[in-house]
Amino acid sequence: MKKIVLCITGASGTVYGLKLLNVLSKNYYIYLVVSEGGFKVMEKELSIEKEQFLNNLPENCSFYSQNEIDAPISSGTRIVETEGVIVAPCSTGTLGAVANGISSNLIHRVCDVALKERKKLFLLVREMPLSLIHIKNMEKVAQAGGTIAVASPGFYTRPKTVEDMINFVVGKVLDSFGIEHSLYKRWRNEDF
């Protein structure tokens, strides 16, 4: 079974991380890291408490605290075994740490390791408006080989529900990893 690292930070939009966890768990072994801020936002936005979440993880998932800096995935020897790292949602604090090589927690560290090992790194930034500092940090990560996206749904699919918009954003993350899905209708799909 292929492996992937999924991190959920304290930015608004934990629903993106949970949707990715649900979709990826069907075919991937997931190394999951959720920041303390991520758990707080999850409770505020989705009324899911930390213990409830941890008690309902998929079987093919290993959970690590942001403070477990010595977790197996903190090493390049383990990250190279994965398809890469997804941070969804990615706070601008995490973006800044990654852009500047600061590894003060496990999420920062796995992103740093993914970049140094040339593994795919995808940061789904959830913030608006963006300051010049945010934009410069995005530029640094992109220049280092990471992929940056903002959680911005497309409307050519004519979404009818919030879930449709979430599916579009999550589908675009999966597209970046070459993971097949049917979460949204592709542009001019009727032409194929």
CA distance 108 to 44: 24
Across the chain, the runs of DSSP E, i.e. the strands, are 2-8, 28-34, 61-65, 84-90, 120-125, 147-150
Q: Domain extents for the chain? A: 2-191
> SS3 letters for 51-98?
HHHHCCCCCCEEEEECCCCCCHHHCHHHHCCCCEEEEEEECHHHHHHH
- Report yes or no: 85 and 7 within 8 Å, Cβ to Cβ: yes
Q: Is 144 left (phi over 0), alpha (psi -120 to 50) or beta?
A: alpha
- Report yes or no: 164 and 13 within 8 Å, Cβ to Cβ: no
Phi, psi of 144 (to 5 degrees): -80, -5
Question: What are the tokens at 151?
Answer: 């959680």
- Report yes or no: 136 and 92 within 8 Å, Cβ to Cβ: no
* Alpha carbon distances (Å) from 128 to 24, 75, 132: 27, 33, 12
- Report yes or no: 82 and 119 within 8 Å, Cβ to Cβ: yes
Output the CA torsion 175→178→183→185 (10° steps).
70
User: Check: CATH 3.40.50.2300 for 2-191?
Assistant: no
Tens of pLDDT along the chain (192 residues) come to 999 999 999 999 999 999 999 999 999 999 999 999 999 999 999 999 999 999 999 999 999 999 999 999 999 999 999 999 999 999 999 999 999 999 999 999 999 999 999 999 999 999 999 999 999 999 999 999 999 999 999 998 899 999 999 999 999 999 999 999 999 988 766 643
Taking only the tens place, the pLDDT of each residue in 117-168 is: 999 999 999 999 999 999 999 999 999 999 999 999 999 889 999 999 999 9
pTM listed for this prediction: 0.95
Residues 6+ apart with CB under 8 A from 99: 136, 137, 138, 140, 141, 144
